[in-house]
């Protein structure tokens, strides 16, 4: 008997004002035997009523709902009957901005809404929906395992400070749970940070620009969606755009710039943490610092390994503070983390590596 069949399926409520989307999402969810659609809702108020009546384990919520908006519905779910909520949103500007707000309010993750699906896209979207619902449901349903399964991996401490090269760049990779984690980290770093930060955050197309703008408004650092040829500048943060890899290229002995590309195309994620971090390792060597945060899967494990093998610093978020302990687990399992730390301590680790004094 499979593990999925040995326990009751995850109960899912689908809330969307589109009958097409309710039907499409229902088919996708019920393609997996460990998931079960217990009901659907067309409005925000009906969503709240159905949650109280059906007690679903996970809710998929349209951000653009009639009457009580998706954001107001989410606020009431989080305050009155908290449970994992996956936002289903259009990539139009307002939809993307509202989705970023929803993630800040506690939504588990987001899925880009499409009004129609080509046959070639259905399986990919279905796998995304199923994987995110399973991850949201927690350990009762096994999340997708990294390619190198691990148990309790060893943690290698930093070498003594006298032998560690001060970082010249920080490379960060994250997925599910990343928006809140990145906000906490970046808002705690000073405007005069003497190095640049490059980030890959797995997020649907259309969401990275509004997310970077929001962080730019909230953080002392200058936060951008990366553009071709951007020079990596101290005090600036660069996000890889959705659908494009970002890599680092040396312009001169003192300058490095960002390059955007659709290649390689045969990887699970574009942008890829592995692709970005591998280029950072190649260009910056032992002066690179890699950080892997909460997220599903194992993207970033090979990139963190590349930084580790070059003698750079590698830091992983600990399991207790991860929304999903997938990406850090994969890195820990390969033995390529110099240190593991809870999320609130990560800004201090960055500043310590740069030689910032403890605040008084």
Query: What residues act catalytically?
Result: 175, 202, 299
Q: What single-letter DSSP state applies at residue 152?
A: S
- Cα separation, 237 vs 187, whole angstroms: 12
Element (H, E) at 280: helix 273-284
Please provide the size of the chain in residues. 360
From residue 269, give the alpha-carbon distance in Å to each of 174, 226, 276: 12, 17, 11
Please state the three-class secondary structure of 57-124 as a single string.
CEEEEECCCCCCCHHHHHHHHHHHCCCCEEEEECCCHHHHHHHHHHHHHCCCEEEECCCCCCHHHHHH
- Which residues make Cβ contacts (< 8 Å) with residue 105, sequence separation at least 6? 71, 74, 75, 78
Instruction: Assess contact for 293 and 321: CB atoms under 8 A.
Output: no
Q: Which tokens sit at 147?
A: 């390619």
- Beta bridge partner(s), residue 112: 89
Calculate the dihedral angle through the C-alpha atoms of 271, 274, 275, 276, rounding to the nearest 10 degrees. Answer: 80
CB atoms within 10 A of CB 110: 25
Q: Which tokens sit at 43?
A: 């409005």
Burial zone of 186 (CB within 10 Å; 0-12 exposed, 13-18 middle, 19+ buried) = buried
- Cα separation, 77 vs 72, whole angstroms: 9
For helices 19-29 and 119-137, give the axis angle rounded to 10 degrees: 70
């Amino acid at each position: 008997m499979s593990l999925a069949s040995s326990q009751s399926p995850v109960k899912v409520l689908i809330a969307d004002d589109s009958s097409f989307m309710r039907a499409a999402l229902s088919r996708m969810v019920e393609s997996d035997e460990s998931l079960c659609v217990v009901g659907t809702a067309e409005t925000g108020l009906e969503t709240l009523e159905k949650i109280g009546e059906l007690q679903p384990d996970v809710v998929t919520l349209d951000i653009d709902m009639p009457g009580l908006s998706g954001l107001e519905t989410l606020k009431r779910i989080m305050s009155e009957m908290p449970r994992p909520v996956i936002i289903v949103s259009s990539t139009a500007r307002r939809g993307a901005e509202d989705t970023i707000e929803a993630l800040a309010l506690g939504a588990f993750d987001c899925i880009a809404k499409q009004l129609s699906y080509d046959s070639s896209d259905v399986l990919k979207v279905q796998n995304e929906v199923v994987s995110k619902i399973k991850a949201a449901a927690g350990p009762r349903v096994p999340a997708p395992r990294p390619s190198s399964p691990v148990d309790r991996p060893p943690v290698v401490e930093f070498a003594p400070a006298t032998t560690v090269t001060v970082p010249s760049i920080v490379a960060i990779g994250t997925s599910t749970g990343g928006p809140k984690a990145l906000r906490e980290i970046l808002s705690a770093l000073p405007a005069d940070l003497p190095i640049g930060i490059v980030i890959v955050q797995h997020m649907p197309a259309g969401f990275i620009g509004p997310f970077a703008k929001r962080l730019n408004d909230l953080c002392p650092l200058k936060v951008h969606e990366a553009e071709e040829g951007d020079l990596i500048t101290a005090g600036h943060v660069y996000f890889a755009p959705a659908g494009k890899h970002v890599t680092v290229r040396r312009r001169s002995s003192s300058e490095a710039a960002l390059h955007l590309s659709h290649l390689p195309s045969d990887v699970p994620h574009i942008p890829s943490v592995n692709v970005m971090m591998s280029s950072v390792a190649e260009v910056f060597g032992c002066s690179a610092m890699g950080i892997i945060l909460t997220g599903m899967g194992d993207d970033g494990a090979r990139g963190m390994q590349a930084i580790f093998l070059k003698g750079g610093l590698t830091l992983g978020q600990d399991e207790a503070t991860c929304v999903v302990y997938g990406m850090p687990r994969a890195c820990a399992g390969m033995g390529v983390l110099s240190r593991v730390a809870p999320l609130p301590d990560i800004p201090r680790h960055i500043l310590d590596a740069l030689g910032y004094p403890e605040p008084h």
